[in-house]
Amino acid sequence: MKKILVITSVIPNDLAGGDRLYTYHLYKALAQYASVTVIGYKDLHDRVIEHENWVQEIITVPYIYWPQYLSVLSIYSNQVFENRTTVFKKTLKQLVQNKDYDVIICDHYRTFWAADIVNRERKWLGKVRIPTILVTHNHEALVRDKLAKNETNLIKSLVFWLDAKKTRWHENKALLGFDKVTAISTTDAKSISAVSGQKTDVLTPGYSERIKNEHQITQETSKQVVVLGNYYWVAKQLNRRLLVKAAASIFPKAGIKMILVGPGPASLIHELSQYPFVKVAGYVESFDKYLEESRIAIIAETTGGGFKLRALDYVFGKVPMAVIKGTMEGMPLQAGVDYLEYSTMNELIEGVVREIDNIEKLNMLASNTLAACQNKFKWKDRGCALYKIVCDITGKKE
């Protein structure tokens, strides 16, 4: 059985965020085909969900906190700076001295540096180089550029601009240095391939929760929209503020409420809770109640790229979606037939007001999306696809 070392940022015990969901389920599926060791920091979120042994071995690195603003003084971007610690590098070197692996997988751009640490240590020990795979969650340079562009605060904008420049330089170097790179969407794959000069395989997310085939919206369903997500990332915070501010002068007049579900900083939760039409549920163990009590789910990401994992919760929960154009990347769906699409935030808000009482149309959209996605998002398939990539770069299958 092949032995694979997966280097990630955080051991995903708390599955509240898209990154953690993707990491957990992808390598859990891969572990059905190979022996997988995952190394990363302990999840520091307040609520931790204990899972079964989802891979063969987990190695936890003690987390050392560095103030994020110090990354401005570093040659590395913020994401890399807070992960590339002395203790992580030391743990990797010790691991290499005692164990051998067939493949190294760096999960997310923020851990790209670790593959070089491992192989340099092996070279010093007189051992052969281990083939490497970079599993990306976004084309980070493009996301950081957009974040800097959308920030209205001058000082923050300059900081984000500098971080974007550092991200682009290091990410481009990483894309050229790995034996294989995967992307989370076809759009990311195309832009990444333009940099790396080689084919980028696509590993879209899967879905593992209960599919609610029988759910129907009725006139008794609350006149409410739902937004799921993890709000710790600054881009997500910016998106939520823009959405709530755009709806503030329109939704209350139309009698529409908004429920925001997912963990985030206490300051953001307090800020958004000040709007009378908004309820912030924070972290919850199950989305079922909030999806069943809502007529429309909103995806209004003006900043941040990649596949929207929460779209799958909406699709398989049979809740129709109203989205900003460009946010359905990777979904086998058609605008106007499977979901409501709008070019701007204001158009989306106005569109929700027009459609929220059209119960027949909302149920039709929800049924269309479920039918289109029913058998296309299985994590087992993603694990098998990643294992085939492992076999390709090692030259044989076991």
Q: What kind and span of H or E run contains 348?
A: helix 345-355
Q: Are 25 and 208 in contact (CB under 8 A)?
A: yes
Which pLDDT belongs to residue 285? 77
Residue among 236, 286, 235, 281 at smallest CA distance from 257: 281
Are the C-beta atoms of 355 and 64 separated by less than 8 Å?
no
3-state secondary structure at position 355? helix
Q: Which amino acid is at 336?
A: G
- What pLDDT score does 202 carry? 94
Q: Do domains 3-206+378-394 and 224-373 have the same CATH topology?
A: yes
pLDDT of residue 283: 80
Predicted pLDDT of residue 302? 67
Walk along the chain (398 residues) and give the pLDDT tens digit of each residue: 899 999 999 888 777 677 888 999 999 999 999 999 999 998 766 555 556 689 999 999 988 777 777 888 899 998 899 899 999 999 999 998 888 999 999 999 999 999 999 999 999 989 999 999 999 998 989 888 888 887 778 888 899 899 999 999 999 999 999 999 999 988 899 999 999 999 999 999 999 888 888 999 999 999 999 999 888 777 788 888 889 999 999 999 999 999 999 888 888 888 999 999 999 988 887 888 999 999 999 998 865 556 788 899 999 999 999 999 988 888 889 999 999 999 999 999 999 999 999 999 999 999 999 999 988 999 999 999 999 999 999 986 55
What pLDDT was estimated at residue 246?
A: 93
CATH domain 3-206+378-394 topology: Rossmann fold (3.40.50)
Residue type, 24: Y
Instruction: Assess contact for 244 and 275: CB atoms under 8 A.
Output: yes
What radius of gyration do the chain's Cα atoms show? 21
Give the Cα separation of 256 and 394 in Å (integer): 55
Instruction: Determine the Cα–Cα distance for residues 324 and 344; give it in Å rounded to an integer.
Output: 6
Token pair of 249, please? 């002068």
Q: Which tokens belong to 121?
A: 């240590």
Residue with tokens 């067939």: 102
Pairing of strands 180-183, 35-41: unpaired
Q: Which CATH architecture has domain 224-373?
A: 3-Layer(aba) Sandwich (3.40)
Return d(Cα 228, Cα 57) in angstroms, integer.
31
Positive or negative CA dihedral for 165, 167, 170, 176? negative
Give the C-alpha separation, 239 to 228, whole Å.
Answer: 12
Query: Considering the entire predicted model, what is its pTM?
Result: 0.88
Domain positions in the chain: 3-206+378-394, 224-373
Residue 315, pLDDT score:
95
The answer to whether residues 100 and 1 touch, using CB atoms and an 8 Å cutoff, is no
- Residue 226 sits at the vertex; the CA angle it makes with 224 and 232, to the nearest 5 degrees, is 145
